[in-house]
Structure 1
Amino acid sequence: MRRQVFSLNRSIHRSMVIMLMTGSLLGSGPAALASQSALTPSQNPAQATAAPSATLGQAMGANLAELPQFGQNFSTFRLENGMQVVVIPDHRAPVVTHMVWYKAGAADEKPGISGIAHFLEHLMFKGTKAHPDGEFSKIVASLGGEENAFTTQDYTAYYQRVAKQHLGLMMELEADRMANLQLTDEQVKPELKVILEERAMRIDSNPSALLSESLDAVLYRNHPYGIPVIGWEHEMEQLDRQDAIDWYNEYYTPNNAILIVAGDISEDEVRDLARKTYGKVERRAEPEARIRPHEPPQRTARSLTFTDERVNQASVRQAYGTPSDSTAENGEAQALDLLGYILGSGTNSRLYKTLVIDNKIATSAGAYYQGTGLDDTRMLFYGTPAADHTVGDVLAGIRTEIDKIIKDGVSEEEVARAKRSLLAQTFYAQDNQAALARIVGTALSTGQSLDELRKWPEHLAEVTPEQIKAVADKYLQAHRSVTGYLLPPGASITPSSAQDDKKCSDVDQAIPKAREMSYPKDPPRASQKVPNPQARPQGQPKPKPQAEGTPSAANDKAAPSSATAE
């Protein structure tokens, strides 16, 4: 039985997780989504704590000082083997969401074995002595339940949603494969072909996904976020059973895992069941501290152009490196959330109103901040030119709106509206079991605590217009940009006004010089062996990918990419 595949991006801020899990953006959307290798789940069951009351509207009106509580009934404890357990009560229906999160993702992979985190996620369904290949999924299906699994840069997670009386069985099954996974070459080799075909279908055959990968490779030159979750094909081809076993033994240990149970259950019930199942799993390893290379300061704008015959509509996307929720200074992450909303979220955003409605330069335009991540992440802008306009026009328009905020700031009214929207999304997430489990798991897997999560609405409400202006000035300077152009043959990136008078004048500052990058019309399928001068001997470090043709994870409104995998 094959798992259903969904996709999500590596580091989507809380409000985006909420929208995804409630179904409005399943699989893709303006706020960053892209498929990646099968990279991420996105189920949407029903949820957790009490629904927001009328005080929500009052608190998010003129007075933001008194906010409805978020996550106050969450509880957490640890088993003796080090496994953290979080309980999210919701007694409205006899249903539970059961998730196990491992603090290991693609960015934790050693050089030369990209894709192993996602590959093992697939192999975890191959069975144990007690529950052979395929039995796990058959049991869940026979109970009328749902299941999925997903890999991102920072974590890997496994998910089931069942009637509450089956929670103990889900814990038994998940604990069994945490301790007793059995793999043979006969199981591993066919699954390797599956993930190679997955890459061929989702990335290599999609110009937008290829540009997204390349954009991240150029943005993250020193940090492993520049390597796609699904992996580079020439390294994926060399993955084997031992690579998977080594990854499993190092990271799939209870002291590196988080159990989240949301639903019609009490903390005492979860504690008792967890001790009887997960509590019996011995810790196999002590994972090292997750210390990754940092990006050096970016002092010049970077850009790349991808021209491909399969592209029908030109588009542009532009990324800026930013801190994440876990790495930002006090208040910066919340200010970036609000900045992204004001600039690019929905039809009331500055970019949409100016570029699409007023000036009719673009048919789409937006921006979003990807806040969840163990390390620094990014803010991404995107747009599609209208007829008689170019991606250069769109990019110049985006730059103009950014510069307006850097120079003049934002209004109190804009900030209040953005706060109301983001806070509403956060509080309404409490009406969805899976959304809450996902939010909590993401936060805890990327270096945050439950207390920090509870205080996020309060910290968001405290952000001032001056703080939003400050983060725009600090992180959105033109020299810190990485721009990607996706073009059909013959399309131009030069602004239409500059084409008329043969000069770019002031727009030169907004349009980074782009390198041309081409891709074969019919890329080789993953099953075909393509000579690769960069293929490394087993165990040797991989060469640094070239900026122009290499994929990594990135994503805009419509681009499958490689930030999450299923």
Structure 2
Amino acid sequence: MKPGIWPVVAILTVAAPAAAAAGLFNPSTFTLDNGMQVVVVENHRAPVVAHWVWYKVGTADSPVGKSGLPHYLEHLMFKGTDKIPPGEFSKIVARLGGNDNAMTSYDFTAYFQMIARDRLETVMEMEADRMVNLRITEEDSVTERDVILEERRSRVDNEPASLLGERLAAVQYLNHPYRLPVIGWFHEIQSFTREDALAFYRTWYAPNNAILVVVGDITAEELKPLAERTYGRIPARPVPARERLKEPPQASERVVELRHERVRQPSVTLSYLAPSYNTEGGERAYALEVLAELFGSGTTSRLYRALVVDKGLAAGAGAFYRGSSLDETTFRIYATPRPGVALEEVEAALDEEIAKLLAGEITEEEVARVKKRMLAEATYARDSLSGVARIFGVALTTGQTVEDVEAWPRRIEAVTVEEVRAAAREVLKPERSVRGRLLPPMREARK
């Protein structure tokens, strides 16, 4: 078991599975009597299925002073039940010929298995069992806490880019819990107890706060009785609303500089507060996706061509935007200078390219070409069982619907050049930004 931290929906409640209108994935959906939502996407190329259970809770829902507690619980979910001995969950899946894993992000926690179709009910029984019957010993709670502390040391504290990412988030969000590290702050991880984990588990882990997504060689009609025999036997229970602190208006540009002995090549990142699909201004999310693709996705993007190819100043440059977020998200732009090129020179060139966007220098031809590429990539995404499961799971846990996922191609196709220009002007504002610089240590002046 390798628990992980993760960096495209209200499902119709019907008596029988209902197929969504023809679209990108053509899913079927139904809801169990206990409120558990189910999505099924058929793919009959091989007798295999991806089985995912998503909980609508993540690091942004951590109790005060316990950042990263959802990730801690994710680790402990593999410690066993009365039916499954400690540490045996993943071994059983492996003996069945499958593999499993888990991941935690700001808005969700997910557990998944890739398994042969004829072994699916077994892993469904196992997953349903640990939804309500988790057993945690004091020894296990201490051991996993130490494992996570070591994970933090190796993946964050010894990685300058990860440290800068944490500080960017902490400064970008003045009040909202997205400012917290998904893994948690070191000193707060040290405070985790068995009782903390069990209290969180009993609060959030319930069928009516979970979503089942199954993709592969199965139909909704075949899955429904399996789901009723396994998850359907678990009673629903009250789950609190996800009430989070609101972000106040941001009125000033912020700068974060991190110097670290492990930095060999500096870099700069600009992070802008941006709407997600689920927030006020969410109608701009599709235009922001097109903007990120046009400006900074891949070697054919405008930023890469300008800084890396044409001017030869940068070793890398790009932009990315994550629209699937329960609350306000970020639009980020980054660049790394070539050896021998000053970071200030790259920053100036990057700012110049941003200024061109804000001046409206985006053509209809650019937008049309980028949209065509995005739609082609979406078509290819259908071939990945786990990829499709992730798209629906992330969407459902962050306020979208099955219909939103299926409508994505149509909505991207409808984005106009004027909407892309307007989205750039609305989001790429200095007062909503944090500029982060990753730098090597300052050299002492020679005596």
Sequence identity (%):
48
* Contact 2:295/2:302 (8 A) holds in 1: yes
Contact 1:126 1:133 in 2 (8 A): yes
Can you list the C-alpha shifts for 1:212-235, whole angstroms capped at 9, x where unaligned? 101110001200000001101111
Alignment of 1:195-344 (within 5 A): 195-283=148-236, 285-327=237-279, 329=281, 331-344=283-296
Corresponding residue of 1:91:
44
1:17-45: CA deviations, max 9, x gaps? xxxxxxxxxxxxxxxxxxxxxxxxxxxxx
The CA deviation at 1:266 is: 1.3
Which ranges in structure 2 are unaligned for 5 or more consecutive residues?
9-21
Query: 1:391 and 1:334 mapped to 2: Cα distance?
Result: 32
1:529-566 C-alpha deviation (Å, 9 max, x unpaired)? xxxxxxxxxxxxxxxxxxxxxxxxxxxxxxxxxxxxxx
- SS of the residue 1:195 aligns to: helix
**Secondary structure, aligned partner of 2:359:** helix
Cα contact 1:331–1:463 (8 A) shared by 2: no
Equivalents in 2 of 1:301, 1:329: separation in Å? 21
- Cα distance in 1 for residues equivalent to 2:321 and 2:106: 17
Could you tell me which amino acid in structure 2 is paired with residue 435 of structure 1? G
Q: Which has the higher helix share?
A: 2
| 1:499-529: CA deviation from partner (whole Å, max 9, x where unpaired) | xxxxxxxxxxxxxxxxxxxxxxxxxxxxxxx
2:2 maps to a residue whose letter is Q
1:69 corresponding residue in structure 2: 23
The alpha carbon displacement at 1:409 in A equals: 3.5
Q: C-alpha displacement at 1:489, in angstroms? A: 2.1
8 Å CA contact 1:409, 1:466 repeated in 2: no
- Does the 8 A contact of 1:409 with 1:468 survive in 2? no
How far 1:480 sits from its partner (Å)? 2.0
Structure 2 counterparts to residues 129-140 of structure 1, below 5 A: 129-140=82-93
CA distances 1:90-130 after superposition (whole Å, capped 9, x unpaired): 11211111000000000011211111100000000000001
Residue 329 of structure 1, CA deviation: 3.2
1:192 to 135, 139, 145: 145
2:363 equivalent among 398, 402, 411: 411
Partner of 2:13: none
Q: Which residue of 1 aligns with 2:423?
A: 471
**Preserved contact between residue 364 and residue 417 of structure 2 (Cα < 8 Å):** yes
Q: What code does the residue aligned with 1:184 have?
A: T
- TM superposition shift of 1:490: 3.1
Q: Any idea what SS the aligned residue of 1:181 has?
A: coil
Q: Distance in 2 between matches of 1:349 and 1:217?
A: 29
- Preserved contact between residue 154 and residue 446 of structure 1 (Cα < 8 Å): yes
Structure 2 counterpart of 1:449, from 389, 401, 407: 401
Report the Cα offset of residue 376 of structure 1. 0.6
C-alpha spacing 1:328/1:345, structure 2 compared with 1 (3 Å): farther
Q: Which one of the candidate residues 330, 350, 358 is aligned to 2:310? A: 358
Tell me if 1:123 matches 2:70.
no
**For residue 378 of structure 2, what is the amino acid of its counterpart?**
T
Contact 2:277 2:283 in 1 (8 A): no
- 1:94 counterpart letter in structure 2: P
Displacement after TM superposition at 1:8 (Å): 4.2
SS at match of 1:221: coil
Aligned-partner residue type, residue 423 of structure 1: L
Deviation at 1:253, TM superposition (A): 0.5
Gaps of at least 5 residues in structure 1 are 15-67, 492-566
What whole-Å deviation, never above 9, does each CA across 1:134-169 have from its counterpart, x for those lacking one?
Answer: 221111111110100000000000000111000100
Alpha-carbon distance, 1:425 to partner: 1.3
Q: Distance in 2 between matches of 1:401 and 1:305?
A: 22
The separation in 2 between residues aligned to 1:99 and 1:475, in whole angstroms, is: 34
Report how far residue 464 of structure 1 moved. Answer: 0.5
Higher relative contact order (CA 8 A, sep 6+): 1
CA contact (8 A) 1:331 1:460 kept: no
Q: Partners of 1:150 and 1:190 in 2: how far apart?
A: 19
Contact 2:276 2:282 in 1 (8 A): no
1:436 alignment partner, one of 388, 402, 405: 388
1:482 corresponds in structure 2 to 434
| Pairwise CA distance, 1:408 | 2.4
In the TM superposition, 1:508-527 aligns within 5 A as none
| 3-state DSSP of counterpart to 1:134 | coil
Q: Deviations over 1:207-262 (max 9, x none)?
A: 11111101110001200000001101111101101100011001110000001111
Partner of residue 2 from structure 2, selected from 4, 23, 30: 4
SS at match of 2:256: strand
Deviation of 1:281 (Å): 1.0
Give the distance between the partners of 1:344 and 1:193, measured in 2 at CA.
Answer: 39
Please provide the CA RMSD for this pair: 1.4
TM-score, length-normalised on structure 2?
A: 0.94
Which secondary structure does the structure 1 equivalent of 2:44 belong to? coil
Displacement of 1:172 in angstroms is: 0.4
Against the structure 1 CA distance between its residues 139 and 324, is the aligned structure 2 distance closer, same or farther, given a 3 Å change threshold?
Answer: same
Q: Comparing 118-127 with 420-429, which one deviates more in the overlay? A: 420-429
TM-aligned CA deviation for residue 387 of structure 1: 3.5
Q: Which amino acid aligns with 1:299?
A: A
Deviation for aligned residue 1:395: 1.9
Shift of the 488–82 alpha-carbon distance from structure 1 to 2, 3 Å rule, reads same
Tell me how far apart the structure 2 counterparts of residues 469 and 202 of structure 1 sit (CA, whole Å): 37
Q: Normalised by the size of structure 1, how large is the TM-score?
A: 0.74
Q: How many residues get paired? A: 430
CA contact (8 A) 2:23 2:407 kept: no
Q: 2:31 aligns with which of 52, 57, 78?
A: 78
The residue that corresponds to 1:143 in the other structure is 96
Residue 408 of structure 1: SS of its match in structure 2?
coil
Distance 1:379 1:230 in 2: 22
User: Shift of residue 299 of structure 1?
Assistant: 1.3
